[in-house]
Every structure is written in C-alpha cells, then in structure tokens.
Structure 1
Amino acid sequence: MSGTLLAINNYHYRRGGADAIFLDQMDMFARSGWNAVPFSMQHPDNLPSEWSPYFVPEIEFGRQGGLMAKIGHGLEIIYSRKARQSLAALIDQVRPDVAHAHNVYHHISPAIFPLLKKKGIPTVMTVHDLKLACPSYKMLAPDGVCERCKGGRIYNVLLHRCMKGSIALSGLVMVETAVHRALRLYRDHIDKLVVPSRFYRQKLIEWGWPGDKLVYIPNFVDHAISEQRFAVEEGDYFLFAGRLAPEKGLDTLIRAAARSGQRLRVAGTGPEEAELRALAQRENADVEFLGYLSGQALHETVAGAKALVLPSEWYENAPVSILEAYALGRPVIGTDIGGIPELIKPGETGLIAAPGDPDDLAGALNAMNQFSASERKKMGERGRAWVNQEFSRGAFFERTLDLYRGLGIPSLG
C-alpha cells in the first residue's frame, strides 16, 4: 500500500546530514510507489522540483541591510506566516496522508505544525539535533558541553552567547524558544518524534519530553555503498572526515596523532582549518589536510584507511559517517559521547576513547595499529554485516512505514 508523503525540510539540496536523510527518504518512498512531495525554502542550490513554486521565500538572518528588514525577517524566523500560507496551498493541491518534517528551525519555522493539526494530517518530525531541549541545538556552550538551560532556564543561551558568540543571534533564539514553548508548537501539534539514537531519546526524556512520543529509528546507509569494492589496499593512515569545527575534537586528535606517532589524514574544511594546520606544525604531527572530499573520492579514501576516527567532544546524534565506514569495510575509533558509542562494538567493529583526552585517544590509535591488516579487515566486515542487517535502507523504510501505520493512516490499512 502507498500514499502521499509530505516531506518538509528547510533545504532541498544536500547541504548537510539532515538534508541528505530528507532527500533519501523521499527517494525511497517514491521508489516504493508513494507520491513524495517536498516543502522547503527557495534557494539557488535547490534540486529541481515541480512543487518549488510553493516553497517559502529564502530567509538568511543577518543578510538584510536595514533595521526594519532585520526585524521583519526575525519575526518570520520565529513564526513564519508565509510558510503557513504556502503550505496551506500545497496541502489543498496534494492532500497528503502523512507529513514528515526534518529541520524547520529559523526558515520554515514550527508555525506550520498547528496548520497540519487543523487539517487532520498525522505529523512526524525527525530529531536531527537537540533544538527541542537546547535553544542553540547542540547543548554546547563556549566552555564545552552544557545543560544550563534545563528546567526552562533559557536565558543562559543569551548569558553565554551560545550562538556564534553573538548577542543578537543568541537573543533571537532565546525569544524564539520562549515563543515556541508558550504556544506549544512542537508538544501539542506533532504526533511522534523520530530519534536516530537511543542517547537522544534518553536526553529528551531527561529534559521533560514524554517517552511515548519518542520513537527510535536509526539512520541508514545506502546498500550501494556496501556493494562497492575499490581496488584500494589499506594505507598507512587514520582518517577524519567531516567539518573542521571546534566541537569535532580535531585539536585532540592532532595531539593524539603526534603522541602516538600515527599518520593522520583529514578530509574536510571548516572554520578551524588554519588553527589546526598551525597546531599540527607545532606538535610535529604527521597530518595531511585533503580539503573537501565527496562521492567516490571520499569513499576510496575511507576504504584505504586503517580506521575512521570520530574524536567528537559534543553530543553527536547518530553519525552516518560511522555507518558508511562500516559499509566500506573499515573499523571505527569513536569517543564515548552522545550517540557514538552505541554504533561501535568495542573490539569487534572498532574502539572507543574518552572525549577530549589526547592520551587516551593516542592509546586507541596505537591499539588499532597493533592489530594486523587482516584483523582490521575482519572488524570492518563485521561492521558491514551489522549495517546490512540493522542500518539498511530497507530496515529504515519498514520501521518508518510501521510508524506511519501506527498513526492510523487509512490508506495504509
């Protein structure tokens, strides 16, 4: 059985992990006979869609020149009337059976959820970050992991300037959070929240969300990746692949590489790149910065690594990069924080190190290096088997379909 899926996300292109999940989910449902209809924001990088005339006008706070323009855009960020109007027209046109939202903050805004409720459309939202608890998404302040806003103390986001060190942006998200909570836009108008990690489910419960509203459905990796076989021998390097940002723990990893004497390759770009290059020189670490890689070039680089390393120092959700490394037959070293450890079977598919501890991470690098190449290959093969069983597109589709059925959608029986 099939129906019409209204898929909602700020961006209609592969800007980040949440956007990739949004697009891949639409694709898998479309391939299964569903009518998958997107609702997003206008953007020059968007993929083409026949439904783009209904998309919300582009909003990027801070780009507007005048004070009144900034105020107008600030109000739209908090509660977008334009999004409600555009979505109402789209709903009348396609009459969806279910709505599945991903990231809507700041652009589409949660103003759409009361409309969906009023129209009688069952609504699900995937929790890609911790915005439903923490005003600044990450439970990360300038001084590290932070849960100061717990219990409604959201003034802390302004007090500590958690949004890019900016008083204006931090004040905006504080007001935004206060308005959304006062109107109960998420709590009263979304039927189920999908959480890709057990850690996020537990964290949201700790912050007051009812457990029966939170459904664990892990992320997935395309079966085609696990079917790829590159003519790549294991190289003499460990690999980090991702954004070069402070919370990713790259400074700890570079120090660990220096102390362990292991070679490190870094694939990605970001605001910390210059500082990290300077750190590698100071520490005399054997680090090669590869720049941004994607597609086959990235997959070949992963396939040639001794292991993928995720040295994160914040509450990561459920990194797809771990699943992709397994799908490519490589083990993973990850830190014991957020949802990372639930994706690693220590000694079987990888190793776990303490976050923010270069000595412990250096020990994990050395321990992985001491395995033979054939032993590391077996670890990767166990990871690939785990992905094909638990984190496949098919498993994700069936779990999501079961969730939709539980919402009482008539077309699904």
Structure 2
Amino acid sequence: MPTLLNINSYHYPKGGADAVYLRHAALMAEAGWEPAFFSMVHEENLPSEWSPYFVSEIEYGKSGSKLDQLAAAGKIIYSLEARAKLKELLRARRPDFAHVHNIYHHISPSILGLLAEEGVPSVLTAHDLKLLCPAYTMLTGGAVCERCKGGRLHNVVAHRCMKGSLALSALIYLESSVHRLFGLYRDHLARVILPSRFYLAKFQEWGWPAEKLTYIPNFIEADQYTARPDPGGYFLYFGRLSPEKGVATLLRAAALAQVKLRIAGAGPAEAELRALADATGAQAEFLGVVRGAALSELVSDSRCVVLPSEWYENAPMSVLEAFAMGKPVLGADIGGIPELVRPDETGFLFASGDAEQLAARMRHIQGLPAPALRDMGNLASRFVRDRFSSKVYQDAMLGLYSALRA
C-alpha cells in the first residue's frame, strides 16, 4: 500500500484550507493510500500517531521576548527545525508521495528541498495567492491590488499591506523575497494544484509556467446533505466576518432593499458590522458561529445564500454547500465565484462592492415566485453532484499522482 504524506500547518479544521487537508487525506485513504501527516504542534490538533514529528508551535505576534520573536521570524522564512523533524519522519517511514497545503509562516518551504532530495514527489494545493503576492489576499487599503506583479514585492512594504504594520510587512517581504530568490517553491514542487480556473489564469499571468499548474476543483460530499429547495423568507451569509468578505456592502444593500438578513459567523469586523447594521437600519440578525446540523437547518430555511466577497475568492466551499442543500447563491462577480454561480441557473451575480446593484438583485430575488427559486435550487443541487463530487476529485488526484510517479 503506497503512503501519502499530508502536510499542513494545522492538524485540525481551523479554516477552509485545513478542512480540505483533512478531507483530502481521508479520501485518498479510501482509495488505498496509507495516510501520514506532518504539521505543527497545537493544542487543538486532532490526535495523530505522527504528532511526535510535528514542529513546535509558531504564532507570530504573540507576546514574548525580542529573542523569541527573532527566532520565530527566522523560522517563518526558513525553518531548520521543520527540515530536521521531517528528516526524522522520512527515516521512520518513507512516503511515496507528498501533498502540501498551507505551510508558509509555520512550517516554511524548507521541507520541499528535502522531499526532492529524498526522491519524494510533492504537489501543493494553492488555497490562496501567497505564492504570487506576499499579502495572500492581494488587498491594499480594502481594494484589490496587483502592484507586486512582475517581482515588485517591495510594494508590500511601501503600502504596509500586512495589517498596516511596517515591521510585519517588512518581514513578509523578506520571506517572499528569499523564497523566490532560491526557488524554494517553484523549483521543488512537481505541480501546483489550482481549485479554480481563475487562480490557474492568475498564476500564469504572474509568470508560473503552465506545465507546473493543474486545475482540479474542490469537492463536496453532496450525499451528506439534504436538498430542500423550498425558499424561505430571509437571505443568509455564513462565513468569516472580515473586511474582504464584503459583509459591510451586504448590510448596506439589505437596508436599501428592505429585506431580512441573517449573518452566521465571527471575526475581527464583527463589532464594526453590528454598528453599521444599527446605523443603516438593516434588518440583520447576527447569529454568531453556527456549525453542523444547525448551520444546515439555517441554510435550508433561507431564500438565498449571499457571498458578497471583495477579494479574489478561490473556489469557496460555502457555494458548494449551499448548492448541495438546494439553495441558489447570490455572489459577487470576482475571483472564482462566477465559475460556480451561473446567472439565472444556479444563482445570481452582482458587481463586487456595489451595494446598489446588490440591493437590486435582492429585491428581484425577494419578488420571485417560489417555483422559480425551487427550480433554481434543484438545478444547483444537480450541478454540484455532477461536477464537484468526491469521485470526480478522487479520480483527478489519483490520475495526477500516477502521472508524476511514473
């Protein structure tokens, strides 16, 4: 039985990329690959027999001495500890293949050269645009920015793109510059997997060779969801409450359209968003973090799910989850969202950041008869089951692994 080494900074579902890392490992195990794991020590990690090989925790920005912070900064750029720990793992069990997810800042690409030296082919799923731009969201001052294109990485410092901090922006600039100078990602990865065609095109625009890139969309276990396409009376946003998600625009639009809105999630912008809801008179209810069956019930009872993003979304799982439950999606026309949301078929699109156009779409959806929304929800459910099933994903990944091991 071949062994697949799964690598990610967090060994628990902290975010979407971490959840994909765990689901991917489980799906490949079903296909006959024995899973091994390499990650970072964290108190919330899932139990693992591989945890003795995990690297020590790094959470840059936590309180500590200047020496501790300097050591953490060094690990962010090139972690000798991660390389040594991985070497121990490889001596105990040599994998046949390695699949990398998010490793920057915590594990670092120091491990990629070691895998190449040991003859273990590795691929990386790009969950964001970090390999292109030091600021992985490609946002500056709340707006999409591509100033770093063409190697002009100094812009991340000039515009203080990392949380408005000169020190943090300088560190991330140094990190990306070193990684590019020594080709730590590009020279050692056999392939980069892009879950959206938008990201595939963006990587090529920024200079990555086409032969290093492969498009494989995300998957969803659609059979675990029950499609309930009967429309409810409210619009729903579920996800992180941070500026790039466009929830402020959504609140303004809901106030203009005078429709009911429910918001499930938490994040750094929550207090500001609550104040905005009060100021605009939006009929918005903040529900906090909702997961599992409670979230499924919330989605199923909604009229439409809204994804008002204002950054280059990749291939958002929230769209696939909404579709699986028979709900159309009203999405911003940005990033990979238009690849999933087909106007008047599986949902509706609006210009990202345009509250007035979003309000117009919400009024239109509010006025649609139930049979029209029900038909759209049924079509969305079929679409996700046909195009984004675990079988489609598994076959594509196994085909890639086989080709790269040949």
Settle same-fold status: TM greater than 0.5: yes
Structure 2, unaligned runs of 5 or more: none
Matching residue of 2:180? 181
CA deviation after TM superposition for structure 1 residue 370, in Å: 2.2
CA deviation after TM superposition for structure 1 residue 235, in Å: 2.4
Matching residue of 1:35? 34
1:318-351 deviation line (CA, Å, top 9, x unaligned): 0000000000110000010000111111101100
Matching residue of 1:80? 79
Matching residue of 2:102? 103
1:150-174 deviation line (CA, Å, top 9, x unaligned): 1111111111111111111111100
Matching residue of 2:141? 142
Q: Tell me, in whole angstroms, the C-alpha distance in 2 between the residues paired with 1:3 and 1:390.
A: 28
2:142–2:243 CA contact under 8 A, matched in 1: no
Equivalent in 388, 393, 398 of residue 395 of structure 2: 398
Q: Tell me, in whole angstroms, the C-alpha distance in 2 between the residues paired with 1:33 and 1:399.
A: 15
Q: Tell me, in whole angstroms, the C-alpha distance in 1 between the residues paired with 2:280 and 2:94.
A: 60
Equivalent in 248, 263, 277 of residue 266 of structure 1: 263
Q: Tell me, in whole angstroms, the C-alpha distance in 1 between the residues paired with 2:61 and 2:266.
A: 23
Name the amino acid aligned to 1:139. Answer: M
CA deviation after TM superposition for structure 1 residue 64, in Å: 4.5
CA deviation after TM superposition for structure 1 residue 234, in Å: 3.5
CA deviation after TM superposition for structure 1 residue 374, in Å: 2.1
Name the amino acid aligned to 1:320. Answer: M
1:379-413 deviation line (CA, Å, top 9, x unaligned): 1111111111110111111110011011024xxxx
Equivalent in 278, 284, 287 of residue 290 of structure 1: 287
2:12–2:45 CA contact under 8 A, matched in 1: yes
CA deviation after TM superposition for structure 1 residue 282, in Å: 1.3
Name the amino acid aligned to 2:126. Answer: V
Matching residue of 1:159? 158
1:225–1:324 CA contact under 8 A, matched in 2: no
2:227–2:326 CA contact under 8 A, matched in 1: no
1:225–1:328 CA contact under 8 A, matched in 2: no
Aligned length: 406
Name the amino acid aligned to 2:114. Answer: L
CA deviation after TM superposition for structure 1 residue 285, in Å: 1.0
Q: Tell me, in whole angstroms, the C-alpha distance in 2 between the residues paired with 1:289 and 1:62.
A: 29
The yes-or-no answer on 1:46 pairing with 2:45 is yes
1:119-158 deviation line (CA, Å, top 9, x unaligned): 0111100000000111010111114100011111111111
Q: Secondary structure at the match of 1:219?
A: coil
Matching residue of 2:341? 344
Matching residue of 1:56? 55
CA deviation after TM superposition for structure 1 residue 31, in Å: 2.2
Matching residue of 2:332? 335
The yes-or-no answer on 1:218 pairing with 2:217 is yes
Q: Tell me, in whole angstroms, the C-alpha distance in 1 between the residues paired with 2:170 and 2:302.
A: 43
1:263-302 deviation line (CA, Å, top 9, x unaligned): 1100001111111111111111110111100111111101
TM norm structure 2: 0.98
TM norm structure 1: 0.96
The yes-or-no answer on 1:90 pairing with 2:89 is yes
Matching residue of 1:369? 366
1:74-121 deviation line (CA, Å, top 9, x unaligned): 101110011001111111222111100000001010000100000011
CA deviation after TM superposition for structure 1 residue 45, in Å: 0.1
Q: Secondary structure at the match of 1:407?
A: helix
Q: Secondary structure at the match of 1:6?
A: strand
Q: Tell me, in whole angstroms, the C-alpha distance in 2 between the residues paired with 1:229 and 1:18.
A: 25
1:3–1:34 CA contact under 8 A, matched in 2: yes
Moved over 6 A (4+): none
Q: Percent identity?
A: 52
Matching residue of 1:317? 314
Equivalent in 351, 355, 358 of residue 354 of structure 1: 351
Q: Tell me, in whole angstroms, the C-alpha distance in 2 between the residues paired with 1:387 and 1:245.
A: 27
Q: Tell me, in whole angstroms, the C-alpha distance in 2 between the residues paired with 1:225 and 1:307.
A: 20
Q: Tell me, in whole angstroms, the C-alpha distance in 1 between the residues paired with 2:70 and 2:348.
A: 49
Equivalent in 251, 265, 269 of residue 254 of structure 1: 251
1:307–1:332 CA contact under 8 A, matched in 2: yes
Q: Tell me, in whole angstroms, the C-alpha distance in 2 between the residues paired with 1:350 and 1:297.
A: 23
1:170-203 deviation line (CA, Å, top 9, x unaligned): 1110000111011100110000000000000101
Q: Secondary structure at the match of 2:349?
A: strand
CA deviation after TM superposition for structure 1 residue 225, in Å: 3.0
Q: Tell me, in whole angstroms, the C-alpha distance in 2 between the residues paired with 1:65 and 1:407.
A: 43
RMSD of equivalent CA atoms: 1.2
